[in-house]
Amino acid sequence: MSKEIHSVRVDKRSSVTLEQVAKHAGVSRATASRIVRHSTNVSADTRNKVLESMRELGYVYDRVAANLRSRKSATVGLIINDIANPVFAEMLIGVHQELDAHGYTVILGTTYELADKQDSLISTMLEYRVGGVIMGSVPGTSKETIERLSQLDIPVVLVREPPGEDFDYVVVDNVFGAQIAMEYLIGNGHRRISFLGGPPELAPWRDRIAGYRKALFHAGIQVDESLIIASPTSRQGGTDAVHQILRHPNPPTAVLCYNDIVAFGVMNGLREAGLMAGRDLAVVGFDDIPEAALSYPKLTTVTGSPRLVGATAASLLHQRITGMDNAPKRIILKPELVIRESCSSYLKL
Amino acid sequence: MSKEIHSVRVDKRSSVTLEQVAKHAGVSRATASRIVRHSTNVSADTRNKVLESMRELGYVYDRVAANLRSRKSATVGLIINDIANPVFAEMLIGVHQELDAHGYTVILGTTYELADKQDSLISTMLEYRVGGVIMGSVPGTSKETIERLSQLDIPVVLVREPPGEDFDYVVVDNVFGAQIAMEYLIGNGHRRISFLGGPPELAPWRDRIAGYRKALFHAGIQVDESLIIASPTSRQGGTDAVHQILRHPNPPTAVLCYNDIVAFGVMNGLREAGLMAGRDLAVVGFDDIPEAALSYPKLTTVTGSPRLVGATAASLLHQRITGMDNAPKRIILKPELVIRESCSSYLKL
DNA sequence: CTGAAAGCGCTAACAA
DNA sequence: TTGTTAGCGCTTTCAG
């Protein structure tokens, strides 16, 4: 159904058709078609004749018509929350590069975290007969929505949080990521380490906290629950959280942040308090967005590599679309710690 | 022609067709079509019957087929250099938001500054029968390329540097932007002001330099050519340039940078020299990319508003596509100066 | 308000 | 190697 879509749709210029080219060259439409499709069963002579006619008439191949007839599609949909969010922007870059290299055209949709919007986006994409969909949108990736795609036999690959077991997905190992960050901090002599920011209801948060606890446990350090502060996943959230932790009767010497954005907020809050990340408080981020290498001090962070995640998802989708492999694929990327400046330990305790 | 494209193209699932829906509902295909298109000439009764059949059969409208038959298109192409470049990312956001709101689907292409790539992108877009194209790519926007589109009667709107007079375009007034930045600096007591970074062969550079000179002239300050240093438009370019200017026998007290990226490089170079933007040297950027508000110190910069530029271009294209107005449109955005921290003048001279 | 017939621009058998 | 005949899934006259 094409409900709620009252979009502008505009007259296509009536271009030169294959038929006209064929006539001009004195061959049949089928022959002209063969040439346009690089079929080998054409004599060099007619080929040149037809090519010449195309040039003369200014012919432009109509891929839309061709796809309709041949029942093929080389477009895929990508759904993300918001391009302005660096993590998604990076994911988009990864997806686009990978897919572009394989000749796909990508239709981009943004949900701004609205579940309704997501559904309507998927509808539109289906109407455009996409060959597959990558869903980077989170949360709101309801099981029903995805199953709708499954039923239509459209390959889907998810980024983060698979809502079931039969889906392809790629995620980063958040538990592991948090753990290596903590081990680094602990190795630097820190014993009181805070976890700041993020939404406790989301899987990535739970996983990162799990890694946080795990590392503490292995180091024989008792978890101090008052050092864990959830807050909005935003700069402001980070700033608020650090102000709060600074008032703690026994404040931490290091903080692991839910992600880089929060970490930037933390560094900001520190400055507001006349303090400095690295010198007065070790801070570690998560995701390694490009800005992390550009801040002052440069942020030590765990590579979530959203770009790699995107590229991986795209490659998975490509495999699935071309049917090279039909087993459900789950890819779990092992993050690494990128050590920069925000934990310089000249203040080692 | 479909040359050089050997892309993967995959079987489309054979979905339920309007024909089948019509049969199921006991009406003709034409009637079903009327319903799907929200035509009014249908009785509520048959409408419901058909709608019900669609639901039962899981019908999905085929917009591709519909567009073919009705000779319409609701997709437009956007060509940019590189998504990873914040300026273009912002432009993409603006374009996408605006176009999305009008029901268009956007096909994204990236050139990475390769002229060849740009041509092949345009070919692909034409093959997909886009209704219009926005070219944010620079340089390499050859006159021929654009005229090719003109001849096919495809609306184009350019961002930056129109290569002729008959094209729609939107640009920011770079002369004015540089001028207000300079006036601010001069008003703060600076007399020796440097212009750092950027490619002298590009129009934006020439315009910004023109504004730089103009402001100096109005203030009765002689231009010192040794204070103008071109360098790659990158962080490294900025860092190199500031290192160079720092060795000047009579160094400047302020710098106007070609753009924000260069400005970040400058701030970086300053730190490497134990100096600090704002305190030891006033630095102004250009473009106002999101990162400008997040750096330390926060960057004072001229709003190039790439997002607004994108949205404006999109809106122009929309007008042109719907034929609401056929006069060539040139929009020149007046930039503003966003004063933040990188020029705090406690070091006023 | 509804249906029959034609056809958008192309590809896919099948013959020749 | 080439042409002929269908027809992808939809919209569009034009009748009724």
Q: Is the pLDDT of residue B345 over 70?
A: no
| Bases in strand C with any atom closer than 7 Å to a protein CB | 1-13
Query: Residue B87, SS3?
Result: helix
Burial (CB count within 10 angstroms: exposed 0-12, middle 13-18, buried 19+), residue B317: buried
A152, A294, A298, A326: best to mutate for the B interface, most B CBs within 10 A? A294
- pTM given for the model: 0.89
Q: What is the pLDDT of residue A5?
A: 42
pLDDT, tens digit, 9 for 90 and up, residues B220-242: 999 999 999 999 999 999 999 99
Question: What's the rounded mean pLDDT across residues B303-331?
Answer: 89
Q: What is the pLDDT of residue A138?
A: 67
Q: Which residues of B27-61 are buried (b: 16+ CB within 10 A; e: fewer)?
A: beeebbbbbbeeeeebeeebbebbbebbeebebbb
Q: Is the pLDDT of residue A304 over 90?
A: no
Which residues of A are less than 8 Å from B271 in CB distance?
Answer: 296
| Band (A97; pLDDT cuts 50, 70, 90) | very high
pLDDT, tens digit, 9 for 90 and up, residues A204-239: 999 999 999 999 999 999 999 999 999 999 999 999
pLDDT, tens digit, 9 for 90 and up, residues A252-262: 999 999 999 99
Q: Which chain A residue lies closest to B103 (C-alpha atoms)? A: A7
Residues 6+ apart with CB under 8 A from A298: A292, A340, A341, A342
Residues 92-131, chain A, touching B (beta carbon < 8 A): 92-93, 96, 100, 102-110, 123-124, 126-129, 131
Q: Is the pLDDT of residue B41 over 70?
A: yes
Residues 6+ apart with CB under 8 A from B238: B196, B197, B231, B257, B261, B262, B263, B264, B265, B266, B267, B268, B269
Q: Which residues of A268-285 are buried (b: 16+ CB within 10 A; e: fewer)?
A: bbbeeeeebbbeebbbbb
Residues 174-233, chain A, touching B (beta carbon < 8 A): none
Please give the share of chain A, as a percent, with pLDDT higher than 70.
91
| Band (B1; pLDDT cuts 50, 70, 90) | very low
Residues 227-286, chain B, touching A (beta carbon < 8 A): 235, 264, 267, 271
Q: What is the pLDDT of residue B163?
A: 67
| Rounded distance between C-alpha atoms, residue A334 and residue A176, angstroms | 7
> A291–B291: do the CB atoms touch at under 8 Å?
yes
Q: Determine if strand C comes within 7 Å of the CB of B71.
A: yes
Distance from CA of A110 to the nearest CA of B (A): 9
**Contact present, B190 and B253 (Cβ < 8 Å):** yes
Could you give phi then psi for residue A283, rounded to 5 degrees? -130, 135
| Among B326, B274, B7, B18, CA closest to A106 | B7
**Contact present, A212 and A174 (Cβ < 8 Å):** no
Q: Determine how β-strand B10-11 pairs with β-strand A10-11.
A: unpaired
| Rounded distance between C-alpha atoms, residue B120 and residue A192, angstroms | 57
| Rounded distance between C-alpha atoms, residue A189 and residue A180, angstroms | 14
| Rounded distance between C-alpha atoms, residue B78 and residue B86, angstroms | 16
